[in-house]
Amino acid sequence: MQDIFFKIEIDNNSFPAAAVWNESCGFYCGYVGIEENNGLYKLNLSGNLSTEENLPCKFPDVDVHGGITYSDYYPYLDFNFKKSSDVAEVRFDNGHYVSAQPLWWIGFDCGHFNDKTNINTTGVERGIDFVKINCRKIAELACSSYEKLMRKNLSEEEHNEMLALATMEDEFAKEYVKSLSIN
């Protein structure tokens, strides 16, 4: 199996996406790249404290296979997607990959108890088409996230979470708070 890089087109939006084969475990993981101007950029949707600046964020909920299990930078995906599609500057600085605008990658995996893996050989096989369908769900969420927040269609819990994030210098949350005072 190999890693597959593709684009998801929704309305006038284009999202880089990838199906990455986990060789050691025997299943695919799906990822969608989020650009800096999107409302999901730097939101920790997986609930993992993977970076200092990101606290877990339950907004928004997306129905992908097994739930969101990854939300962070992923230089391997940045480099390979850009290399495969010729879309942006790729350079190396002291042997490390550097991108002008690194993407925020949101992903899921197909390694759950009923999925076929190296350990569970009788489970349901989740191939490329399955991964693409679930990546599209993440891209659809990314298309609606900014609009939903700026229309202020948030639950009280989501609203309070955005206020808390704004106090921690989260740029998107600060924009949300700023939009409250305008209307």
List, run by run, the mean pLDDT of 10-residue segments along the chain (183 residues). Answer: 87 87 95 84 63 46 82 82 52 45 89 93 94 92 65 62 70 66 45
Q: Which of 142, 121, 126, 146 minimizes the C-alpha distance to 30?
A: 126
pLDDT value of position 161: 73
Domain boundaries, the chain: 4-151
DSSP element (H, E) containing 90: strand 90-93
- The amino acid that residue 103 corresponds to is L
Query: What CA–CA distance (Å, rounded) separates 150 from 178?
Result: 10
Listed in sequence order, the residues at least 6 apart from 94 whose beta carbon sits closer than 8 Å to its beta carbon are none
pLDDT value of position 50: 42
pTM of the model: 0.69
Q: Which of 3, 32, 15 minimizes the C-alpha distance to 128?
A: 3
23 to 70, 108, 141, 170: CA distances (angstroms) = 18, 16, 29, 36
